[in-house]
Structures are given as structure tokens and as C-alpha cells.
């Protein structure tokens, strides 16, 4: 288990009047000067890239006036567009990587991610017990959900995108309405909750506990239905088939079990296949015919379902595989590891297509959008967005209140298909013509332990 963060926050000394900055290049790298921000969080150039971008227009000139303290009201720069603007890519892939280097999504280690079926909402859960809701593709931080008193290890969103379920080390499962994030119910678990799985119709929830049991709950009322027993060691993974007829569970006792649903009858026990190789993660393909499991021996097993026959072993990672995701079209498997890398595999063949280092520490969580074109990865306190199948970095979801002072961003609004859309980019990126600057560039408000004056959460909600 990861250690809790000891970071502290600082409040900015002043706020400047809105300015727009062009990217300044120095020695081949993007140089970011003093920045600003009003509306808390966003994606570094992600929204523009995902929206299908054309070549960037001529950036606005760099203001030469000296910034002054801003009065109580929030001024903006309003431009009169000659035509409806389209979001434009403003940074190269290398510049995106540089810009995202210091941008943080959480103040401490992030354990879990969940993505809505419509692909418009992302939830992330952290060691502190905080859950954050983000809009996609623009990446705006919508809300912080407070209620858990310990690490949120697992999140799932209902098929109708109206319910978020979170499981925590505080021995509770919480039900939240979406998209507003209102707490609806708290279920008391038998122990700390590590994994959740929700049936395709959203009517049954399975949770594991560190007392080696699986609990079944009816949804959305949260009524306990059954407790499944039979494991000797910790249950690390759960998955429910797309037809909702069976539950698959994996344990540190090196076994995989298949259970009937909703009865919870044990149908079959599969040996993991390798001695002393606990099962870490399980995912089932959309057609329900393929099971992928990751083991602590750095390998992935592909099995047919429902018979459980082992089809192939995928080698390539040099450390434990911590997370897996199968694309909704069933053609791709993505794995994340303690070796800091992401690997992309074809399905059902299991051919390794691509390897890239996505983070600077272990990859904890992966989710793939319904169109199978966007991958979201979580590691430590960061969230990154990647294109599929190319694996190019598209941006990073960030909260400046959780980021250090050297991390800085600027927010602007523009019109897309007749709708006003807000984007947040690293300051210094050119703002598209016709956009409205809605904030000042300010530095992040989060300092490591022992640094700065501490105190004061300085995020301004939307």
C-alpha cells in the first residue's frame, strides 16, 4: 500500500489581471513564465486535440503592459470573432509532455479511475479519500466528493451513467448521484473494500473485502444479498460477464473462481497456472468469450470463457502488472505495470503492438472510452490521456490546487458547434482567435512537506 502524502498547500499572494501569452521557445523547449488561473482545473491541450484540430491560427500578441493587482470582480478579455472558431492544437507532442510534467490531478496517490459509458465524465479516487469528477474531453474539474475517511481503492459507474459507486479502506461503499455528485447512500462492508464490479444492467454489485470474502448487493437500494466464501487469501480482482450471468474472481491463493449470478453459486475453480503468482487483475472482453488476468510474475494469461481454458501467455513486462483494460470494441488490451510502462496488445491474438513509458512510477489504473480511441491512465498523483491505437500523449487532467508552484495554467472559452466550451492549457500556449480569456495565469498552490507557508485551498470552483 502506498504511503499517504505529506504535501502542504500555499495561497498565492496576489492575482493578476488577465493576460494572454504566446509560447516562447528557448533551446528547443517551451519556456513558461508567470501564469494564471481562475477556474481550477483542466486538460493540457487535450480538448483541442481530441476535437479534431486544424492547424493553429496566428496567436494573439503578447501584452506589454505590466500586470496589476486584480480588484474583487473578475475581468475578462473578450474578442469579437469574424467566424465561429474551432479549437486548435497549440502545443507539439513534446511540448505537451513538458507541460504535463508538473501538473497534478490529486494531492496524494491516486488508486482508481472510472469512465462513464458516454465518455463525458471521469471519476478518480485517491489515498486521502477524495473523489474528483472531471468532464471529458475538456478535462474540467467539476467537483470534489468528500465523505470517505480513507483511501478510495475502487470506482465503478452504472450503465445509465447516473450512479457512481466507490469502495474504500474505511470499510464502506458509497453511492453518489451523477453528474451532481450528491451522496445517496453508504453501505457498511465487512472489511476494507479493494474491488467493485457492477452488472451490465446495474442491478447487482459485487465487492471484495480484505477478510477474503465477496459480498453481493442489490442496486440501487444497497441491500446485501449474499456473502461468497471459499478463498484462503486476499481477493485481488473481480469482473462480471457482459451478459451478467457469472462473476469471475481472482485471489492471492493463485486461483480464479467462476460464480453464477445472481445466486452466487461456485461453478468452477481454475488454477492460476503458476505457483506463487497471485492474480492481480481480471478483465472480460465485451463479447464475454475472453478473460485476461494479470499475475505477479509479470505475465498476462488469456483464457476462453466460460470453460476457463488457457489460450495464451503474454510476456513483456519486467515487473508486476498492476492494471488491465480491454477496449470496448474488443480489439485491444492495455496493461500497466510497476515497470512504469504501458503495453498495447491485439486481441484475440495477444500480439504486442506498442510499449511506452507513460509515467514516472507504477501505473495504477486504466480506462478506455466507449469509442476505443481514448485511453486514460492514472499513476501516483497524475492522470494522462492517450490516443488509441497510436499511444500518443493527448494531455493530462490537472488541478492547479494540487500542483506545485512551477505548474501553471490558463483557461479560455470558445464556441464549438454553437456551444460555449471551456479549455484549460499550460500558460504560454497561444489562445485561438475568437476565444474569451476567462482567467489569469497563476502558479499551482501545492508545496511539498516543509516548503512554503502552508494553508489555504485556493481552487475556485466552476
Distance (Å, whole) CA 95 – CA 26: 12
Contact 328, 287 (CB under 8 A): no
Is residue 418 located within the same domain as residue 378?
no
Is residue 208 located within the same domain as residue 66?
no
Is residue 179 located within the same domain as residue 282?
yes
Residue 242 belongs to some domain of the structure: yes
Q: What is the DSSP letter of 92?
A: -
Is residue 32 located within the same domain as residue 141?
no
Distance (Å, whole) CA 65 – CA 363: 44
Residue 459 belongs to some domain of the structure: no
Is residue 152 located within the same domain as residue 266?
yes
- Other C-beta atoms within 10 Å of 291: how many? 27
Non-local CB neighbours of 150 within 8 Å, separated by 6+ positions: 129, 168, 169, 170, 192
Distance (Å, whole) CA 120 – CA 125: 17
Q: What is the DSSP letter of 13?
A: S
The distance of Cα 319 from the centroid of its chain, to the nearest Å, equals 22
Residue 31 belongs to some domain of the structure: yes
Phi and psi, residue 402, nearest 5°: -100, 0
Residue 202 belongs to some domain of the structure: yes
Is residue 354 located within the same domain as residue 419?
no
Is residue 161 located within the same domain as residue 256?
yes
Say how many domains are in the chain: 2
Residue 311 belongs to some domain of the structure: yes
Q: Which residues of the chain have pLDDT under 70?
A: 1-92, 138, 272-277, 405-414, 416-417, 421-462
The pLDDT tens digits for 121-131 are: 999 999 999 99
Is residue 247 located within the same domain as residue 354?
yes
Is residue 387 located within the same domain as residue 442?
no
Contact 403, 41 (CB under 8 A): no
Residue 366 belongs to some domain of the structure: yes
Residue 19 belongs to some domain of the structure: yes
* Residue (of 153, 154, 133) closest to 143 by Cα position: 133
Is residue 62 located within the same domain as residue 129?
no
Q: What domain range includes position 40?
A: 8-100+408-447
Distance (Å, whole) CA 294 – CA 302: 9
Residue 2 belongs to some domain of the structure: no
Is residue 159 located within the same domain as residue 210?
yes
Q: What is residue 9's predicted lDDT score, i.e. its pLDDT?
A: 35
- High-pLDDT (> 70) share of the chain, %: 66
Q: What is residue 186's predicted lDDT score, i.e. its pLDDT?
A: 96
Domain of 192: which CATH number?
A: 2.130.10.10
Is residue 169 located within the same domain as residue 198?
yes
| Residue 93: strand, helix, or coil | helix
The pLDDT tens digits for 47-93 are: 333 322 223 333 333 333 333 222 222 222 223 333 333 333 456 67
Global pTM reads 0.73
DSSP string, 160-174: TS-EEEEEETTSEEE
Amino acid at each position: 500500500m502506498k504511503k499517504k502524502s505529506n504535501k502542504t498547500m500555499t495561497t498565492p499572494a496576489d492575482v493578476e489581471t488577465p493576460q494572454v501569452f504566446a509560447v516562447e521557445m528557448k533551446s528547443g523547449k517551451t519556456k513558461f513564465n508567470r501564469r494564471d488561473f481562475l477556474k481550477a482545473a483542466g486538460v493540457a491541450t487535450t480538448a483541442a486535440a481530441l476535437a479534431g484540430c486544424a492547424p493553429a491560427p496566428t496567436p494573439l500578441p503578447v501584452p506589454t503592459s505590466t500586470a496589476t493587482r486584480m480588484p474583487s470582480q473578475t475581468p475578462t478579455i473578450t474578442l469579437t470573432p469574424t467566424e465561429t472558431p474551432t479549437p486548435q492544437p497549440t502545443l507539439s507532442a513534446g511540448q505537451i509532455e513538458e507541460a504535463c510534467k508538473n501538473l497534478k490531478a490529486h494531492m496524494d496517490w491516486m488508486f482508481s479511475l472510472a469512465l462513464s459509458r458516454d465518455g463525458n465524465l471521469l471519476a478518480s479516487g485517491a489515498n486521502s479519500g477524495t473523489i474528483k469528477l472531471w468532464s471529458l474531453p475538456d478535462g474540467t474539474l467539476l467537483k470534489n466528493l468528500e465523505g470517505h475517511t480513507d483511501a478510495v481503492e475502487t470506482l465503478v459507474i452504472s450503465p445509465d451513467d447516473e450512479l457512481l459507486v466507490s469502495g474504500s479502506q474505511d470499510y464502506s461503499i458509497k453511492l453518489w448521484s451523477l453528474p451532481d455528485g450528491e451522496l445517496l447512500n453508504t453501505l457498511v462492508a465487512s472489511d476494507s473494500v479493494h474491488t467493485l464490479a457492477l452488472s451490465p444492467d446495474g442491478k447487482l454489485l459485487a465487492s471484495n473485502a480484505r477478510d477474503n470474502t465477496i459480498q453481493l448487493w442489490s442496486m440501487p437500494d444497497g441491500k446485501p444479498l449474499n456473502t461468497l466464501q471459499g478463498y484462503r487469501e486476499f481477493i485481488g480482482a473481480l469482473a462480471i460477464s457482459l451478459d451478467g450471468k457469472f462473476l469471475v474472481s481472482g485471489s492471492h491463493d493463485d486461483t480464479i473462481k467462476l460464480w453464477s449470478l445472481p445466486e452466487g453459486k461456485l461453478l468452477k475453480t481454475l488454477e492460476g497456472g503458476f505457483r506463487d503468482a497471485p492474480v492481480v487483475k481480471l478483465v472480460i472482453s465485451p463479447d464475454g468469450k475472453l478473460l485476461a488476468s494479470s499475475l505477479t510474475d509479470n505475465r498476462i494469461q488469456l483464457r476462453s470463457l466460460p470453460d476457463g481454458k488457457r489460450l495464451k501467455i503474454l510476456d513483456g513486462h519486467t515487473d508486476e502488472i498492476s492494471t488491465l483494460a480491454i477496449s470496448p470494441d474488443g480489439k485491444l488490451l492495455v496493461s500497466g505495470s510497476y515497470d512504469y510502462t504501458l503495453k498495447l496488445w491485439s486481441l484475440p491474438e495477444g500480439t504486442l503492438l506498442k510499449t511506452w513509458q507513460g509515467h514516472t512510477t507504477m501505473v495504477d489504473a486504466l480506462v478506455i472510452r466507449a469509442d476505443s480511441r481514448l485511453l486514460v491512465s492514472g499513476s501516483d498523483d497524475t492522470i494522462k490521456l492517450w490516443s488509441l491505437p497510436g499511444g500518443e500523449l493527448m494531455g493530462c487532467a490537472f488541478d492547479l490546487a494540487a500542483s506545485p508552484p512551477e505548474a501553471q495554467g490558463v483557461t479560455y472559452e470558445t464556441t464549438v458547434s454553437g456551444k460555449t466550451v471551456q479549455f484549460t492549457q499550460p500558460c504560454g500556449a497561444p489562445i485561438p482567435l475568437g476565444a474569451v480569456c476567462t482567467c489569469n495565469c497563476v502558479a499551482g498552490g501545492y508545496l511539498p512537506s516543509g516548503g512554503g507557508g502552508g494553508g489555504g485551498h485556493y481552487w475556485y470552483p466552476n
